[in-house]
């Protein structure tokens, strides 16, 4: 190897190491205060100190990031790429310090400079580049990929506005405000003005024979890379999350500008920049907007160009592409990458169609996250034709050869051809993206056992018949124990370390070692320490609620938490109706009876998609029920309901460690997995849930004695829905208790009844999510929770210890290693420094 320029020794002498002594760290911070921020000690506030600290940590990350990327480039291991439209990262500073192993040093260093590290950590704003579970899963997987020392990169979009922030209006309804998170400097990204690609939209595609075509005209937009370093925990690996920003290709149209047409000259500009303006705030709902399709195409095209440029450095034939590259599709959002890779291979690289298809299908893997029909992506054919004319041709060609193969297998089965076609007939015709992702991939996976089973039995049944069972597999989701235990619940993490006698750096990377806690469930002294930690976490949450909402909650109460996107299928409604039932029951009691009740604090958090009327109405009713209960002196210290506005990753880090019970109560068969259920259990909260998603596997691991299950099972749902539709029975008959609750809402107890009538109607008629059917058993399950919590606190604590000790399976390290070994065929690649 030849040193590129100058004197190697001089270069190497200048290369920065990672300062680990407190004095080197304070020097680095002061340097950034003085030079980068141009500020001084006397005018430095928490925000400024946060920035200086973040910049010095960024320097450390970059050292390891450079080393990691250089070693990948030199050795060329096979790499995997995680394509996700969402990465819900939350805050970075605390996580980076813990993963680098520098938190203690920074604590001392900032203290010496007159600051409290925890306050600085709290000054950071969340990177909310995702809606919910799907986006947060992507973030956990990046953490695990780096921690497991895998050559794994993420690709996404650099949205200038993250998920909207939520406010509550005086009448209780949700108000949305934009989230301009990049307005304050973002130290966690490295702009790469040198890494850019052109992406084309619109224009004209002309076939030139042999399956090839030429695509010209239209609009060209520039994709610019921004790199976000992803440090592994206690390793040298720092992987990369590459986010694309859209820029106009030419600054502005000089001709129109000179002709005095200023508006026109900047039009192209703004249309390019709109592309990465904002994250779409819908989860589990398909919205057929042109801009969304352009976002998908822009991100897929840029990412593939980048991956291919890297592949070309190894100078291998195209046939070996999938020996160097695996690409995981996070839901169908990046499905357009399949025809895009075909386009590059066939049109630009002269690879014959059949070979190109072989390469493509070996490269891609598809994760499905939902079986809800309204969430499955379908794009109108005329829209694709307009925005991506060449991709539509390719989709038609793929469909043609696929349907020919189906026809060979099942001759003259027209129904089957219609069912399996990538194109759904209708006005307009639509492209079924889940089908395209399925036929273009080597493996298709669901995210929990039940969900994967439903994928095989329902939406992709015909495809299982065609391809065989082995292509359709399960990888149960996981969560990173670094953020979701060590970072958010340090006291519990420390107690675990002391108890199982394994170094933290060992058990946090092999979560099955939590098993070592199990014997201590029988140790009363240990239980006392354990329970005290929970109590302190509840106090911490109570402080937050007091400061931010002015509501007093007693940490001695049972803390019952439900935090997730507001959705009818998730059934916040069931929780709310259960609360009203509890309220009415307590109202009917004598003062003496009330004294015996175990006080409960029910906490909700979650955002509704701005266009989702019913979800927003549910928020409004929650808030107004909370207010009515708060205003009722009879409920003091017995029942409190809190809606925590603007739920986020950083709020979850306060809420989750403080729960005694959390609710995961979706209609059976609707919640693909759920991941917060895992986080709660990992922090010693128990589940109140339906037999759905990953709840089932959690119960299998921790023992169903330690989970409060209720409600109908998945296989009953279809019949019940049929009954509601064709043989409806009044709520008064199905559940008198629920009927009484609905009457209170309709009687105006929680404000103008007419406002809430549309919500009540969803339950009275149709009841698609089976609230009526599950209500009574839900109330029963809540009684079991109360009894277990009050009657035998020691037994309760035992349950929580046993639960934590058995949560090893749900580490995202296990999940990412499954993807690495069984899908991507990539190997661990430790970085030596
Ligand atoms: O994905 C969620 C599922 O609902 C959960 O059950 C599951 O645990 C997680 C992770 O697998 N799905 C989403 O969060 N989906 C979205 O956020 C989304 C966003 C845009 C478009 C469609 C869906």
Q: Which residues contact 310 (CB under 8 A, 6 or more apart)?
A: 79
pLDDT confidence of residue 418: 98
Distance CA 341, CA 364 (A): 10
Q: What separation in Å is there between the alpha carbon of 370 and the centre of ligand 1?
A: 7
Is 70 exceeded by the pLDDT of residue 2?
no
Give the pLDDT band (50/70/90) at residue 5: confident
Q: Which pLDDT value is given to residue 426? A: 98
Q: At what angle do helices 103-112 and 93-100 cross, to 10 degrees?
A: 120
Alpha helices in 556-675 (DSSP H): 572-587, 591-595, 613-631, 649-655
Ligand 1 centre from 92 Cα, in Å? Answer: 22
**Closest listed residue to residue 34, CA positions, set 14, 49, 24:** 49
Q: Which residues have a Cβ under 8 Å from the Cβ of 239 and sit 6 or more positions away?
A: 68, 142, 145, 146, 150, 151, 152, 153, 154, 229, 230, 232
For residue 257, pLDDT beyond 70: no
pLDDT score for 481: 99
Please say if 565 is a catalytic residue.
yes
For ligand 1, atom 19, name the residue with the nearest CA: 283
Q: Does position 373 have pLDDT exceeding 70, yes or no?
A: yes
Token pair of 241, please?
């999350």
Query: CA dihedral in degrees (550, 553, 554, 557; nearest 10)?
Result: -170
Residues 362/318, Cβ–Cβ less than 8 Å = no
Ligand 1 neighbours, Cβ below 6 Å, are 131-134, 137, 282-284, 369-370, 375, 447, 477, 671-675, 693
Q: Confirm if 621 and 520 have CB atoms less than 8 A apart.
A: no
How many CB atoms are closer than 10 A to CB 502? 15
pLDDT digits (tens, 9 = 90+) for 451-499: 999 999 999 999 999 999 999 999 999 999 999 999 999 999 999 999 9
Does 237 have pLDDT greater than 70? yes
Q: Which residues of 352-375 are buried (b: 16+ CB within 10 A; e: fewer)?
A: ebeebbbbbebbbbbbbbbbbeeb
Contact 129, 87 (CB under 8 A): yes
List the Cα angle 754/755/761 in 5-degree steps.
75
**Whether residue 724 lies in the annotated active site:** no
Asked if omega into 204 is within 30° of 0 (cis), the reply is: no
pLDDT value at residue 366: 99
Long-range CB pairs of 350-358, under 8 A, 24+ apart, other chains included: 351/318, 352/210, 352/211, 353/210, 353/211, 353/397, 355/318, 355/319, 356/318, 357/398, 357/401
Q: Each residue of 293-333: pLDDT tens digit?
A: 999 999 999 999 999 999 999 999 999 999 999 999 999 99
- For residue 532 the two structure tokens come to 């005290």
312 tagged catalytic: no
**Which residue in the list 378, 390, 564, 582 is annotated as catalytic?**
564
- Beta strands 600-605 and 443-446 are unpaired
CA atoms within 13 A on the CB side of 78: 17
For residue 278, the SS3 value is: strand
pLDDT of residue 447: 99
Q: What is the ipTM of this complex?
A: 0.99
Question: How far, in Å, is the centroid of ligand 1 from the Cα of 367?
Answer: 11
Q: Which of 87, 129, 134 to mutate to test the pocket of ligand 1 (most atoms within 8 A of CB)?
A: 134
User: What's the CA gap between 485 and 804, in Å, rounded?
Assistant: 10
Query: Which of 665, 731, 708 has its CA nearest to residue 796?
Result: 708
| Catalytic status, residue 749 | no
Please list the residues that pair with 128 across neighbouring strands: 88
User: Quick one: residue 613, left, alpha or beta (phi over 0 = left, psi -120 to 50 = alpha)?
Assistant: alpha
Domains, the chain, ranges and CATH?
76-91+126-476+818-824 (3.40.50.2000), 481-810 (3.40.50.2000)
Task: Say whether 369 is catalytic.
Answer: yes
Give catalytic status of residue 546 as yes or no. Answer: no
What pLDDT sits at residue 250? 72
Q: Quick one: pLDDT at residue 384?
A: 98
Structural contact between residues 728 and 765, judged by C-beta atoms closer than 8 angstroms: yes
């Amino acid at each position: 190897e030849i040193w590129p320029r100058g004197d190697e020794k001089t270069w190497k002498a200048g290369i920065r190491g990672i300062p680990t002594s407190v004095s080197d760290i304070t020097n680095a911070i002061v340097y950034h205060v003085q030079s980068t921020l141009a500020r001084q000690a006397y005018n430095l506030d928490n925000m400024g100190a946060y920035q200086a600290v973040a910049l010095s940590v960024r320097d450390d990350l970059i050292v390891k990031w450079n080393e990691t990327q250089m070693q990948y480039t030199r050795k060329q291991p096979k790499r995997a790429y995680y394509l996700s439209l969402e990465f819900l990262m939350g805050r970075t500073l605390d996580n980076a310090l813990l993963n680098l192993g520098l938190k203690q040093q920074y604590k001392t260093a900032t203290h010496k400079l007159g600051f409290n590290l925890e306050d600085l950590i709290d000054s950071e704003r969340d990177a909310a580049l995702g809606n919910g579970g799907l986006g947060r899963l992507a973030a956990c997987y990046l953490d695990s990929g780096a921690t497991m020392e895998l050559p794994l990169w993420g690709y996404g979009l650099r949205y200038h506005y993250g998920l909207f922030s939520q406010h509550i209006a005086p009448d209780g309804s949700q108000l949305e405000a934009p989230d301009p998170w990049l307005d304050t400097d973002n130290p966690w990204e490295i702009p790469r003005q040198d890494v850019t690609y052109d992406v084309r939209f619109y224009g004209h595609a002309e076939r030139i024979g042999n399956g090839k075509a030429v695509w010209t005209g239209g609009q060209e937009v520039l994709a610019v890379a921004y790199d976000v370093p992803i440090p592994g925990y206690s390793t040298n690996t720092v992987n990369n999350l590459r986010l694309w920003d859209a820029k106009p290709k030419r600054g502005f149209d000089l001709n129109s500008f000179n002709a005095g047409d200023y508006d026109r000259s900047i039009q192209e500009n703004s249309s390019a920049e709109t592309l990465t303006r904002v994250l779409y705030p819908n989860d589990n709902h398909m919205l057929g907007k042109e801009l969304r399709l352009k976002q998908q195409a822009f991100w897929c095209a840029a990412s593939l160009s980048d991956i291919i440029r890297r592949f070309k450095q190894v100078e291998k034939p195209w046939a070996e592409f999938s020996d160097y590259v695996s690409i995981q599709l996070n839901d169908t959002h990046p499905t357009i990458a399949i025809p895009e890779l075909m386009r590059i291979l066939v049109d630009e690289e002269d690879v014959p169609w059949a070979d190109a298809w072989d390469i493509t299908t070996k490269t891609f893997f598809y994760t499905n996250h939902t079986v809800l029909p309204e969430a499955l992506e379908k794009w109108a054919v005329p829209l694709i034709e307009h925005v991506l004319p060449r991709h539509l041709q390719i989709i038609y060609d793929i469909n043609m050869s696929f349907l020919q193969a189906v026809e060979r297998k099942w001759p003259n089965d027209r129904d089957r051809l219609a069912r399996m076609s990538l194109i759904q007939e209708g006005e307009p015709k639509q492209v079924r993206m889940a089908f395209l992702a399925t036929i273009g991939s080597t493996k298709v996976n669901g995210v929990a056992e039940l969900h994967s089973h439903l994928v095989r039995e329902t939406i992709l049944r015909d495809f299982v018949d065609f391809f065989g069972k082995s292509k359709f597999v399960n990888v149960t989701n996981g969560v990173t124990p670094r953020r979701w235990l060590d970072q958010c619940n340090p006291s519990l993490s420390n107690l675990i370390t002391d108890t199982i006698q394994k170094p933290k750096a060992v058990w946090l990377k092999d979560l099955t070692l939590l098993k070592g806690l199990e014997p201590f469930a029988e140790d009363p002294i240990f239980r006392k320490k354990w329970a005290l930690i929970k109590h302190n976490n509840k106090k911490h949450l109570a402080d937050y609620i007091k400061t931010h909402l002015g509501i007093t909650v007693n940490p001695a109460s049972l803390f019952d938490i439900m935090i997730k996107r507001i959705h009818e299928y998730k059934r916040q409604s069931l929780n709310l109706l259960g609360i009203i039932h509890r309220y009415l029951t307590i109202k009917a009691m004598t003062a003496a009876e009330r004294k015996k009740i175990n006080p409960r604090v029910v906490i909700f958090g979650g955002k509704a998609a701005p266009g989702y009327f019913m979800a927003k109405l549910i928020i409004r009713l929650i808030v107004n029920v909370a207010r009515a209960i708060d205003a009722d002196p009879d409920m003091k210290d017995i029942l409190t309901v809190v809606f925590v506005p603007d739920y986020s990753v950083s709020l979850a880090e306060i809420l989750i460690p403080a729960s005694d019970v959390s609710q995961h109560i979706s209609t059976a068969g609707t919640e693909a997995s759920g991941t917060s259920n895992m986080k709660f259990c990992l922090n010693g909260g128990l589940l109140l849930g339906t037999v759905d998603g990953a709840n089932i596997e959690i119960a299998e691991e921790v023992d169903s004695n330690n989970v409060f299950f209720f409600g109908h099972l998945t296989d009953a749902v279809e019949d019940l829905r049929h009954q509601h539709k064709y043989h409806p029975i009044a709520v008064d008959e199905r559940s008198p208790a629920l009927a009484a609750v609905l009457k209170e809402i309709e009687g105006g107890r929680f404000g103008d009844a007419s406002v809430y009538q549309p919500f009540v109607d969803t339950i009275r008629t149709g009841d698609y999510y089976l609230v009526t059917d599950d209500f009574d058993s839900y109330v029963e399950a809540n009684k079991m929770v109360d009894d277990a919590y009050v009657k035998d606190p020691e037994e309760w604590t035992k349950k929580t210890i046993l639960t934590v000790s058995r949560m090893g399976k749900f580490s995202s390290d296990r999940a990412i290693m499954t993807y690495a070994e069984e899908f991507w065929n990539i190997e661990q690649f430790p970085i030596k420094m």
